Structure 1
Amino acid sequence: MKLIDFENLTQYMSPKSLLFYQEADTNLAFSQIRYIPNSPNLQIVTGKKPMTLSQLTARLHDMSDDTQLLSTKQQPIFGFHLSLDDTVPHIILK
């Protein structure tokens, strides 16, 4: 998923929304981003505590709009869905 597409689709969502990555049937906390060597793209890193949409937006502020956000296995991320089941919305990337 290109960063410009992600930013356009999430611009009206709560900045406190928590980020997750769906791997098989499990939602993993999206806790960091990693710069891929010799590439303009970024890889998500899962961890114990999810980052918020505002934290991700701040970190991506100076990146090119054509930068791709890749999965933990450096595969393309094609989209996401929004979960409103919790007090704080969850953005779950796939």
Structure 2
Amino acid sequence: MRRFEAQVFGDVQGVSFRAFVAREARARGITGTTSNTADGSVKVVAEGETHELEAFLLQLRAGPRFARVEKVEAVWSDATGAFTDFGIM
């Protein structure tokens, strides 16, 4: 199991981005959280199987219909097992 912590930049608040993130994560069996940040970006902490996380990261880069993703920065590490589901903060 792996983990990444990502920051998604662009027009990603007020466009249902966090709901999109949670829906995609749950569909892939990924656990973690997503939250808005003060600088207008969205933070995503995700844990799961490597291949599912890689596909999920591609979805984050694409974003939902009304979002405009400029950049995604992700830092990978080993999973901690801290989550049992995927939540929106």
Answer yes or no: same fold by TM over 0.5. Answer: no
Asked which structure has the greater CA Rg, the reply is: 1
Which has the bigger relative contact order, CA under 8 A and spacing at least 6?
2
- Give the helix-richer structure, 1 or 2: 2
Length-normalised TM-score, structure 1:
0.30
Length-normalised TM-score, structure 2:
0.31
